[in-house]
Amino acid sequence: MRTLPISRRAFVAMSSAFAASLFLAMPAMAAANPAEDFVQDNIHKGLELLNNKQLAADQRRTQFETFLLGLTDMKRIADFTLGQYRRSASPADLAAFEGAFQNYAVAVYQSYFAKYAGQTLKVTGSQTRAPDDFIVATQLIDPNDKSDQQPLEVDFRVRTDSGKPVVVDFSVAGIWLALEERDQFTSFLGQNNGNIHTLISHLSELAKQFRNS
């Protein structure tokens, strides 16, 4: 079995995007659309979870997973990352992949969120792609950085067509995570005869590695 490469760009995007979901800072002006409202409404929950030193590690992981799954549409993201292979997947295989992808994504974010403690994201605006499709632009700010470098741009794609706002993709410095993962997963499947079970097994192994890191 050929291993699935996790590129540096995707690695940075995954860890930074998670940090973004926890440390969103409220802008000076009121939100202009439900996507910005959604981002703002999750500020305090993320900060309280991060700073709650009374929670044991297991409790914090469990609460974080609940928080993350409430913020994102993991099923939608997982299906997108399969690309053309989603059309030929059986319902059982698709469900198994969605579960493996969720476990993998949560493990990655849980492993690296502490590296961004103390940093914040400032909402700088948003774009409306469609009445139910928004891009919320933010900047990642390190209050201890004295280098005068430009803050890192982190954007969120928020959809509201499912009845409530959910994040369906993240972009760090112009790199969209779901697009990056789709390229990697479809390449992996192309090298393994389109066998989704092989990809599922590999994601499960990667999730274990991140949990133990």
Q: What is the CATH number of the domain that holds 131?
A: 3.10.450.710
Residue 70 within any structural domain of the chain: yes
Q: Is the dihedral of CA 206, 71, 14, 118 positive or negative?
A: negative
Q: What pLDDT does residue 30 have?
A: 43
Residue 66 within any structural domain of the chain: yes
Residues 2-16 have pLDDT tens digits of 445 554 455 454 544
Q: Is the dihedral of CA 116, 120, 121, 124 positive or negative?
A: negative
> Mapping DSSP to helix (H, G, I), strand (E, B) and coil, where does residue 135 land?
strand
Residue 197 within any structural domain of the chain: yes
In eight-state DSSP terms, residue 116 is G
Mean pLDDT of the chain: 80
Residue 207 within any structural domain of the chain: yes
- pLDDT above 70 (res 44): no
Token reading at 128? 């409306």
> CB of 35 within 8 A of CB of 160?
yes
Residue 56 within any structural domain of the chain: yes
Look at residues 46, 188, 60 and name the one whose alpha carbon lies nearest to residue 119. Answer: 46
- pLDDT above 50 (res 22): no
83-87, 175-179, 197-201: range with lowest mean pLDDT: 175-179
Residue 3 within any structural domain of the chain: no
- pLDDT above 90 (res 142): no
- pLDDT above 80 (res 83): yes
Task: Report which secondary-structure segment, H or E, holds 9.
Answer: helix 8-22
Residue 96 within any structural domain of the chain: yes
Q: What pLDDT does residue 62 have?
A: 84
**Confidence grade of residue 32 (pLDDT, cut at 50, 70, 90):** low
pTM of the entire predicted model: 0.77
- pLDDT above 80 (res 121): no
Residue 50 within any structural domain of the chain: yes
Stronger pLDDT, 83 or 3, i.e. the higher one? 83
Q: Is the dihedral of CA 38, 29, 126, 12 positive or negative?
A: negative
Longest dimension (CA), the chain: 53
Domain that holds residue 180: 8-212
Please give the distance of CA 198 from its chain centroid, rounded to a whole number: 23
Number of structural domains found in the chain: 1
Summarize the confidence of residues 173-192 as an average pLDDT: 92
**Confidence grade of residue 113 (pLDDT, cut at 50, 70, 90):** low
